[in-house]
Chain A
């Protein structure tokens, strides 16, 4: 009898979960994402994550939300050289876009967090970003009835830091960009790219060597490379090296996606290049020489027309008409 009760309980739980299950819809050009087994996607969890993502109450002075630095209106970045946190404090690196970030195993420019669940709590605790301890954050959110109720529905608990991370990560996994002119062209629509963009595409995947790192459906190998940016400084940002301590990782940063790149200026980990023209010019020269400069960086000897074609491909080919322009939700009280 006890066995039957357990069995019924198990069946009812499974049924409840399946009813809310959320199936990600992948735009043309993207592939199925690797999802963590302990954080299945559900409608309610994604909605909860969206509220948390846009809620400035996750910061000490109620001024900074995830969206402050990763703003849908600014390419899910912030349009600035660096991230700006509470009390106007400035970080030392640019805010990477959230678009397609669910495809990346390593998170942050230096890969110090694993998957989105590992990343989500970092900025909350960073004193120059949102400046809360996890205990303070959980206490603040537990004082908001709307959050407590949703956490009970989604996780069966009051607000927890693990739940916050899972909910935000679930929402971020839905921020996808594909179905760009490049994808349509690749799928056979020859009118999807202009002639200049087609020439730029050929350069991108060939002579300009961009696809050595900006590879695959997300235009990123999700790996770390030293492209020389900032390495001409006396005390450069060592990037990935701070995590691995491997000499070869000195000055290496994660390859960012190039999808929606036209919206995410300024560029590079330090926001030091204002335009895509500047970026192409930088790579054409082969990057700042340094002992750990990636072997894929070398002078490209591109003509002015080739540089212009590359920029056209980046702007035209990788900007989707289905850009994920998500509006902030009503926040719980």
Chain B
């Protein structure tokens, strides 16, 4: 009975049909420095991007980047290749309230910041001008948290993937109250649940489950997991191998189909956008990851109000030019 219910849940939260095959990818803006987050502003539909290595959050209007928040702390991620990272995950609570996950400070000192964003055309604000901020400090029992990579919200809860304590793999949770956040705390020990490292991607399924992309080890291919949790009590509902290597982002399309990006650290030429399709194998539910597009180090995805898919890629720059881009796939996925 339990298996049957879980299967139904999973079937309903996955796409059963392959994606629309004929799609067009265009560049919205380029010259970005390790972009690592994208969000759509409610009401305006404006695109906001964490231009992470450039320590800023930008608004993209008519293909041009405008500074919105500047001066975030920047740190180096990786031992070679190395990437400068500052602001990471983005999430709008409402039209004017933006939550920014930080990646530029030490674990334990890192901040989840809440901003009232200036309107289009107004001057940018400094990163220290947040309305509220939160950290997850170390204590006697747990390490401090950092690299707040992805944010997802349902009801009054915001979920944040963290990359501090690699023995636990925390997803943190904050409560939305009075237009801001409160009670930021560790919620889900994903590594204890899955025995695989590093929650990175996060999304909310059409049925309201918290869906986490577990990155696995960056030196090991094919170990990425897709895990469904009850968003209220944190109970793991389903944990599936994907065959993907380093899942960096998840998003459901307006049609309810699930997409993921794979950074593919061991061979970034093989990174890309994938549709995750539910299938049955040997009587068990499994996932087929169907490649939609090959991408150069993808980091984040979000569907726009019209169903367009926006993707940030770190890319490969030449000389001093930065290779980061915001890409767009037309509606239809």
Q: Which among B79, B196, B221 has the highest number of chain A CB atoms within 10 Å?
A: B79
> Is there an interface contact between B167 and A252, defined as CB atoms closer than 8 Å?
no
Given A209-B166, A215-B191, A240-B219, A292 and B141 contact (CB-CB distance below 8 Å) = no
Residues of B within 8 A of A249 (CB): 80, 219
> Is there an interface contact between A221 and B217, defined as CB atoms closer than 8 Å?
yes
Given A215-B191, A216-B195, A240-B219, A226 and B79 contact (CB-CB distance below 8 Å) = yes
User: Can you list, as one digit per residue, whether each of B237-279 has a CB less than 8 Å from chain A (1) or not (0)?
Assistant: 0000000000000000000000000000010000000000000
User: Which residues in B have some Cβ–Cβ distance to A below 8 Å?
Assistant: 78-82, 140-143, 166-167, 191-192, 195-197, 217-222, 266
CB distance from B297 to the nearest CB of A (A): 14
Those of A216-247 within 8 Å (CB) of chain B: 216-217, 221-224, 226, 240, 244, 246-247
Residues of A within 8 A of B197 (CB): 212, 215, 221
B80: nearest chain-A partner, CB-CB: A247
Complex CA distance for A210 and B165, rounded to whole angstroms: 11
Given A207-B141, A209-B166, A211-B167, A248 and B79 contact (CB-CB distance below 8 Å) = yes
Residues of A within 8 A of B266 (CB): 244
Q: Which among B82, B192, B195 has the highest number of chain A CB atoms within 10 Å?
A: B195
Q: Which among B141, B167, B221 has the highest number of chain A CB atoms within 10 Å?
A: B167
> Is there an interface contact between A223 and B219, defined as CB atoms closer than 8 Å?
yes
SS of A interface (majority): loop
Whether, in the assembled complex, A171 has its beta carbon less than 8 Å from a beta carbon of chain B, the answer is no
Knowing that A106-B220, A206-B142 are A-B contacts, what are 13 other residue pairs whose CB atoms are under 8 Å apart, sorted by A's residue number? A105-B220, A210-B167, A215-B195, A221-B197, A221-B220, A240-B219, A246-B80, A246-B81, A248-B82, A250-B79, A252-B219, A292-B80, A296-B166
Q: List the 3 closest A-B pairs by CB distance, nearest first.
A: A247-B80, A223-B217, A248-B79
Residues of A within 8 A of B78 (CB): 248
Residues of B within 8 A of A240 (CB): 219
Whether, in the assembled complex, A205 has its beta carbon less than 8 Å from a beta carbon of chain B, the answer is yes
Whether, in the assembled complex, A145 has its beta carbon less than 8 Å from a beta carbon of chain B, the answer is no
User: Which residues in A have some Cβ–Cβ distance to B below 8 Å?
Assistant: 105-106, 111, 205-207, 209-213, 215-217, 221-224, 226, 240, 244, 246-250, 252, 291-292, 294, 296
CB distance from A250 to the nearest CB of B (A): 7
Residues of B within 8 A of A213 (CB): 166
10 contacts between A and B (CB under 8 A): A209-B143, A216-B196, A221-B197, A221-B217, A223-B218, A223-B219, A224-B219, A240-B219, A250-B79, A250-B80
> Is there an interface contact between B80 and A212, defined as CB atoms closer than 8 Å?
no
> Is there an interface contact between B79 and A291, defined as CB atoms closer than 8 Å?
yes
Residues of B within 8 A of A244 (CB): 266
Complex CA distance for A63 and B109, rounded to whole angstroms: 59
A251: nearest chain-B partner, CB-CB: B79
Q: Which among B142, B166, B218, B221 has the highest number of chain A CB atoms within 10 Å?
A: B166
Complex CA distance for A207 and B79, rounded to whole angstroms: 24
CB distance from A295 to the nearest CB of B (A): 8
Complex CA distance for A212 and B168, rounded to whole angstroms: 8
SS of B interface (majority): loop
Complex CA distance for A56 and B197, rounded to whole angstroms: 41
Residues of B within 8 A of A215 (CB): 167, 191, 195-197
Complex CA distance for A205 and B165, rounded to whole angstroms: 11
Residues of A within 8 A of B222 (CB): 105
Given A205-B167, A215-B191, A217-B195, A222 and B217 contact (CB-CB distance below 8 Å) = yes
> Is there an interface contact between B220 and A223, defined as CB atoms closer than 8 Å?
yes
Given A216-B195, A223-B219, A224-B219, A247 and B166 contact (CB-CB distance below 8 Å) = no
> Is there an interface contact between A212 and B166, defined as CB atoms closer than 8 Å?
yes
Residues of A within 8 A of B79 (CB): 226, 247-248, 250, 291-292, 294
Residues of A within 8 A of B143 (CB): 209
A202: nearest chain-B partner, CB-CB: B141
Given A247-B80, A247-B81, A206 and B167 contact (CB-CB distance below 8 Å) = yes
CB distance from B168 to the nearest CB of A (A): 9
Residues of A within 8 A of B217 (CB): 221-223
B163: nearest chain-A partner, CB-CB: A295
Complex CA distance for A294 and B167, rounded to whole angstroms: 14
CB distance from A303 to the nearest CB of B (A): 13
CB distance from B190 to the nearest CB of A (A): 12
Complex CA distance for A19 and B163, rounded to whole angstroms: 49
Complex CA distance for A249 and B78, rounded to whole angstroms: 10
CB distance from A84 to the nearest CB of B (A): 29
Report which of B167, B192, B196 forms a contact with A212, defined as CB distance below 8 A: B167
CB distance from A288 to the nearest CB of B (A): 15
Residues of B within 8 A of A206 (CB): 141-142, 167
A246: nearest chain-B partner, CB-CB: B80
CB distance from B232 to the nearest CB of A (A): 26
Complex CA distance for A106 and B221, rounded to whole angstroms: 10
Residues of B within 8 A of A216 (CB): 195-196
Residues of B within 8 A of A224 (CB): 219
Complex CA distance for A246 and B192, rounded to whole angstroms: 30
Residues of A within 8 A of B167 (CB): 205-206, 209-212, 215
Residues of B within 8 A of A222 (CB): 217, 220
Residues of B within 8 A of A246 (CB): 80-81
> Is there an interface contact between B80 and A248, defined as CB atoms closer than 8 Å?
yes
Given A206-B167, A217-B195, A248 and B220 contact (CB-CB distance below 8 Å) = no
